Amino acid sequence: MKRCKICNAKLILTNDRRYVVCKGNIVNKLLGEQITAYECFDCPKCGCQNVVNVREGAENELISTPNGST
């Protein structure tokens, strides 16, 4: 069970609440630099972003948002 790093509330770790945040942009990609992607969940109590995992090989993945749009 994961808890919020700020308010210690229980995080709801379901696929529909998961989203990916990337560190880097298209310029980094064109220069051949690594783009790091993080799996995140927002706290249901305080709304803070909580990073729970680093995605490997994520530069080829479609990036999603919490509401399902891309």
In this prediction, residue 69 carries a pLDDT of 46
pTM, 2 dp: 0.69
At 32, the amino acid letter reads: G
Q: What are 7-63's pLDDT values in tens digits?
A: 999 999 999 999 998 877 777 667 777 778 899 999 999 999 999 999 876 555 545
Read off φ and ψ for residue 34, nearest 5 degrees.
-75, 135
DSSP-derived letter for residue 10 is B
**Helices of type H across the chain:** 26-30
What dihedral angle (degrees, nearest 10) is formed by the CA atoms of 12, 14, 66, 41?
Answer: 50
From 23, 28, 16, select the one nearest 69 (Cα to Cα). Answer: 16
